[in-house]
Structure 1
């Protein structure tokens, strides 16, 4: 079946009006000329005009019949109350489009954007881009001076995916954006890379709140800084980045710091204070550890996010601030919400885009590129190049990937470790001796503290939730922590059993060390494979 070509055009009340004499054929008329091209057959022209232009429309129709008898011209009366008012023109054109019966399976549509006011041309473009007009754009122009030719035309397809150069440009910008969010580090963890790729799209396409979760030292603050800078580069905001750790805010200080206060609002309020939300106007507010905010502050923050309005402490007048928000936390906000410590409506408002940053141990394959990054940063600050010799690097990597390396503060631990070794290196070379000293230092730092049991709880918390841990005796916590550590350092349950039951197993005629370990783990709902 041959598809028909249908053009939709607004009558050009100036350029299409060239008088009634034969000399009108010597001048370019966009609507008539559109139908004079040998390689562009318009089967039907849907011609839009107002009540004052009927005679011109009839003349144009007659002239089209002379140059292109195959073209059917259909009249549509569209009376713009103000052809330069964007809202009214768009509304009337939208009404026309919605009432029109399109047949995309049988007809191809061209939206002519050469005639009409500039406002009307923009509206036609937007309606085509949005898919209300299901076709392509048609742009026409006159021929060279003193030529009787019908001029030129160009058909523009707004499906950008069909333009290889544009698609390549988009892909390049996306790659540059993801590399920037990763701090220029070529990371290897698939889950982390996938998360960053999506975050890049969200950062440049959306202004909605972002929630970044993850353990202390995983890089929440740095990621928020990069999201802000990426949005600023792409023109998504113009203001500054305002950051605050909510754990430092308590009572009146929290209200005053976030929302500002009026002079005399409380003892010590000797001047007005704008507050962090107002300082972030047209920019971004990063609220780290948002789970530490009190319920009153949470309620005010919710309204400020939704309405961009809030009441400074001690004021009777509202103020406004148009800010974008990134929230960070290392706490389980869903659990806090169920316990009544975090507002459910605020959580629903800030977790449209939630990203969980993994710990260093969870993305240990990214250890090496991050070591190189830390060395590069140190070299840039110190003014001289620092690197490992091969034996030292191999030894440090082996320890860093072992079960001994807890990386409890994640990338903060790594930064501190590299900084120490780089500082102590002679001639910019980190040697085996320097690495061995650093390993000893890290072992002491991460050595379990039997007096407090902190390390035991940390080990258990990696495989059990807080409620389950709180229901265990301290004695059982210590036993379970040691059981987990032995299993993690063993290649099999049998090996773990030989370590755990080194005395009692000698008294048995038949030893099934694997079964004993399996039973112990099952008591706590764990399995060897999980550990």
Structure 2
């Protein structure tokens, strides 16, 4: 059998006792752990402060009486403040790094019953991180028996995979957090579900800025609010959720709205204004369409993120606000940086946690569960439960998931569509006629009933067109069509490569699309023109 080594603190209160035979009837954790017949302690590393050296030697002597085979080594470790977490953790970490551990030759138990609560927590963390390569040892006095000095002992194994019930609870908690961010919608798109799982982890573990990218109506605002509500449920924020559409902040009023102003700072400033940043103190500030902010406002936002301080308009005294920033944009901020319209230092600060929300047409398998969600919202809002009949539901889903369904407004389009059909539904049932009327309306909105395919004749000369195989012509025509309805090269790339990009560790869809177009002598600017 390999030797067993126990590491722990002397208990300044629990291990102390008066001299005399009565002390053997008192439970003293450090002495008691060496009195168990079923726990052999070959070596005890007893950590103590200088002020408790006498007690440590007293304990060492008593252990020698009851367990002569146990070698007790006294380890003096002094703390200026034993309740200072940083100091205690740092010195115990130094102790662990300097100790000559040999896990192949010895078994280690970390006794966490004695010492201050701070010391016990630090021992736990260092064991969990494997700086102390052992298992946790917990001792306690016997209950319901005649008093003795032995007590009880148990080993805590930090391998949670061995505890099915605990592991299951962790898995359920993680799934609940992910479902919460999706508003309980059972989404089916694998790439979107993976992204939500990542956002859930970031939301509960980080206070760094989060950047949500995606087209208008993709759900950035709703997701930002759900992140706030999730953090509030976990007691990570106590302040408010403040949402700002930066596109509405123009001119001199932008500074005042964001950072506040002092009375008399400018004409019309009849009273002090705290500003939106201070309104978000201890909460979350959601800056939607952040790319619309001016460069001066961007500079002040950057300082407010990094230093939590800013200067209200007309004030010579700084204000402070402890907020977490979530930014939203439907523009390519990288392109805005290159064009001098967005600060590169702010973009770098925002780009730590960046998530791209796909358009609805990139998540057609999620249209059906969102359809049910919108019907539930309609029922809550209007107090009337509306449903589809079987044929109408099949007809609508066939239309909604077809390749030529644009859904240019994304989930806002879908929400409006459900509201209209539910409102016009006869007797609370959406029938085929209601669906057909809505289909016709959407086709008109999207630019005509039958989609007119893009032709290549206007882009390529006859000789070039003749050199392209019919197979490639069909593919190129679809690429051109996607490019012309997209706002940027990157968005077009994400749409065209949505399936394959999920299987790659990293992707540059814009570059991939640029190279494809170059094969045919085409470029992005030419297609947009």
TM-score (norm 1): 0.83
Deviation at 1:429, TM superposition (A): 1.2
Is the 8 Å Cα contact of residues 9 and 48 (structure 1) preserved in structure 2?
A: yes
Instruction: Measure, in 1, the Cα distance between the counterparts of 2:374 and 2:44.
Output: 66
Is the 8 Å Cα contact of residues 285 and 324 (structure 1) preserved in structure 2?
A: yes
Corresponding residue of 1:3: 2
- Cα 1:314/1:159, change in 2 over 3 Å: farther
Corresponding residue of 1:467: none
Is the 8 Å Cα contact of residues 207 and 236 (structure 1) preserved in structure 2?
A: no
Deviation at 1:427, TM superposition (A): 0.3
Corresponding residue of 2:489: none
SS in 1 for 2:114: coil
Deviation at 1:176, TM superposition (A): 1.0
SS in 1 for 2:326: strand
SS in 1 for 2:427: coil
Corresponding residue of 1:201: 201
Is the 8 Å Cα contact of residues 185 and 373 (structure 1) preserved in structure 2?
A: yes
Instruction: Measure, in 1, the Cα distance between the counterparts of 2:45 and 2:518.
Output: 80
1:133-282 pair list within 5 angstroms: 133-144=132-143, 146-148=146-148, 150-282=150-282
SS in 1 for 2:337: helix
Corresponding residue of 1:442: 442
Instruction: Measure, in 2, the Cα distance between the counterparts of 1:158 and 1:330.
Output: 45
SS in 2 for 1:66: helix
Tell me whether 1:522 sits opposite 2:514 in the alignment. Answer: no
Is the 8 Å Cα contact of residues 404 and 443 (structure 1) preserved in structure 2?
A: no
Tell me whether 1:29 sits opposite 2:43 in the alignment. Answer: no
Name structure 1 gaps, 5 residues minimum: 450-454, 461-475, 482-490, 498-517, 527-531
Corresponding residue of 2:371: 371
Is the 8 Å Cα contact of residues 215 and 359 (structure 2) preserved in structure 1?
A: yes
- Cα 1:263/1:161, change in 2 over 3 Å: farther
- Cα 1:163/1:403, change in 2 over 3 Å: closer
Instruction: Measure, in 2, the Cα distance between the counterparts of 1:480 and 1:418.
Output: 39
Deviation at 1:386, TM superposition (A): 1.1
Instruction: Measure, in 2, the Cα distance between the counterparts of 1:414 and 1:79.
Output: 66
- Cα 1:231/1:83, change in 2 over 3 Å: closer
Deviation at 1:168, TM superposition (A): 0.9
Deviation at 1:50, TM superposition (A): 3.3
Name structure 2 gaps, 5 residues minimum: 461-469, 477-515, 525-529
Corresponding residue of 1:409: 409
- Cα 1:66/1:520, change in 2 over 3 Å: closer
Cα displacement string for residues 368-390 of structure 1 (whole angstroms, at most 9, x for unaligned residues): 11112112211222222212222
Cα displacement string for residues 473-515 of structure 1 (whole angstroms, at most 9, x for unaligned residues): xxx999569xxxxxxxxx9678899xxxxxxxxxxxxxxxxxx
1:115-130 pair list within 5 angstroms: 115-130=114-129
SS in 1 for 2:363: helix
Instruction: Measure, in 2, the Cα distance between the counterparts of 1:197 and 1:4.
Output: 44
- Cα 1:492/1:396, change in 2 over 3 Å: farther
Greater Cα offset, 87-96 or 370-379: 87-96
SS in 2 for 1:522: coil
Instruction: Measure, in 1, the Cα distance between the counterparts of 2:448 and 2:59.
Output: 91
Corresponding residue of 2:511: none
Instruction: Measure, in 1, the Cα distance between the counterparts of 2:518 and 2:78.
Output: 83
Deviation at 1:524, TM superposition (A): 2.8
Larger radius of gyration: 1
Is the 8 Å Cα contact of residues 517 and 523 (structure 2) preserved in structure 1?
A: no
Deviation at 1:136, TM superposition (A): 2.3
Instruction: Measure, in 2, the Cα distance between the counterparts of 1:319 and 1:346.
Output: 20
Greater Cα offset, 193-202 or 135-144: 135-144
Cα displacement string for residues 290-335 of structure 1 (whole angstroms, at most 9, x for unaligned residues): 0111110111000100110111111111111000111000000011
Instruction: Measure, in 1, the Cα distance between the counterparts of 2:434 and 2:388.
Output: 10
SS in 2 for 1:427: helix
Corresponding residue of 2:40: 41
Instruction: Measure, in 1, the Cα distance between the counterparts of 2:90 and 2:403.
Output: 66
Number of corresponding residues: 475
Deviation at 1:137, TM superposition (A): 2.1
Deviation at 1:399, TM superposition (A): 2.0
Greater Cα offset, 43-52 or 233-242: 43-52
Is the 8 Å Cα contact of residues 25 and 149 (structure 2) preserved in structure 1?
A: no
- Cα 1:137/1:404, change in 2 over 3 Å: closer
Corresponding residue of 1:473: none
Greater Cα offset, 118-127 or 417-426: 118-127
- Cα 1:421/1:521, change in 2 over 3 Å: farther
Instruction: Measure, in 2, the Cα distance between the counterparts of 1:316 and 1:88.
Output: 38
Instruction: Measure, in 2, the Cα distance between the counterparts of 1:158 and 1:22.
Output: 38
1:313-352 pair list within 5 angstroms: 313-352=313-352
Deviation at 1:85, TM superposition (A): 4.8
- Cα 1:182/1:91, change in 2 over 3 Å: closer
SS in 2 for 1:381: helix
- Cα 1:381/1:477, change in 2 over 3 Å: farther
Corresponding residue of 1:113: 112
Greater Cα offset, 88-97 or 402-411: 88-97
- Cα 1:397/1:136, change in 2 over 3 Å: same
Deviation at 1:161, TM superposition (A): 3.8
Instruction: Measure, in 2, the Cα distance between the counterparts of 1:27 and 1:38.
Output: 18
